[in-house]
């Protein structure tokens, strides 16, 4: 069974930001599952999805949510796979989402990226998978080289 990433967001209103996560995963040819599930609106369905996703080969989860953003923490409560949190811009400019995610109490960690940092969330998940996947490691090196070349070629 191939390694997959599980991407979940609390609402369809998060989709605009979370599309960035899909773009990177597509670019690297990494398989993923994507769902809209909420920690407070659909807690039982969320628990079921996390457990079943693991059985289907999901090795890392990405959770995007805004406001009182407990989605990533709740996902992490149901799995020992790494969970990456994406704080989504909100009425409080995403500061509420950021603090809710980054301030996980000791014992159940989540790795929080920047506000709206969906692309970095996918890159981090890919870096985790690349530990045991040399082809992915090479793709990451190529990605960084391309990125650097673009900057060095920029004329202002
Ligand atoms: C969270 O509340 C979602 O992750 C979203 O960022 C925020 C607002 O959700 P909607 O009211 O737009 O559905 O659960």
Alpha carbon distance 154, 144 (integer Å): 16
Atom of ligand 1 nearest to the CA of 97: 6
Q: Is 1 a residue whose pLDDT tops 80? A: no
pTM score, whole prediction: 0.97
Candidate from 7, 8, 12, 14 with most ligand 1 atoms within 8 A of CB, to mutate = 14
Ligand 1 centroid to residue 43 C-alpha, Å: 14
Overall average pLDDT of the 28-36 stretch: 98
CA angle 21, 98, 122 (to 5 degrees): 20
The model's pLDDT over 70-118, given as tens digits with 9 standing for 90+, comes to 999 999 999 999 999 999 999 999 999 999 999 999 999 999 999 999 9
Structure tokens at 149: 């070349």
Residue 131 has a pLDDT of 97
Ligand 1 centroid to residue 11 C-alpha, Å: 5
Alpha carbon distance 135, 149 (integer Å): 21
Ligand 1 centroid to residue 81 C-alpha, Å: 24
CA distances from 2 to 11, 26, 69 (A): 28, 15, 30
Nearest to 126 by CA among 109, 108, 143: 143
Residue 10 has a pLDDT of 98
The model's pLDDT over 125-149, given as tens digits with 9 standing for 90+, comes to 999 999 999 999 999 999 999 999 9
Q: pLDDT averaged over the chain?
A: 97
- Contact (CB, 8 A) for 117 and 89: no
């Amino acid at each position: 069974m191939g390694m997959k990433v599980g991407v979940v967001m609390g609402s369809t209103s998060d989709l605009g930001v979370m599309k960035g996560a899909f773009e990177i995963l597509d670019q690297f040819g990494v398989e993923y599952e994507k769902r809209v599930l909420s920690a407070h609106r659909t807690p039982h369905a969320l628990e079921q999805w996390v457990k079943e996703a693991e059985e289907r080969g999901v090795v890392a989860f990405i959770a995007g949510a805004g406001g009182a953003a407990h989605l990533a923490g709740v996902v992490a409560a149901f799995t020992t796979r790494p969970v990456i949190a994406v704080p989504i811009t909100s009425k409080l400019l995403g500061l509420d989402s950021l603090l809710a995610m980054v301030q996980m109490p000791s014992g159940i960690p989540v790795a929080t990226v920047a506000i709206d940092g969906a692309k970095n969330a996918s890159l981090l998940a890919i870096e985790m998978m690349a530990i045991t996947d040399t082809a992915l490691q090479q793709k990451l090196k190529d990605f960084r080289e391309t990125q650097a070349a673009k900057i060095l070629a920029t004329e202002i």
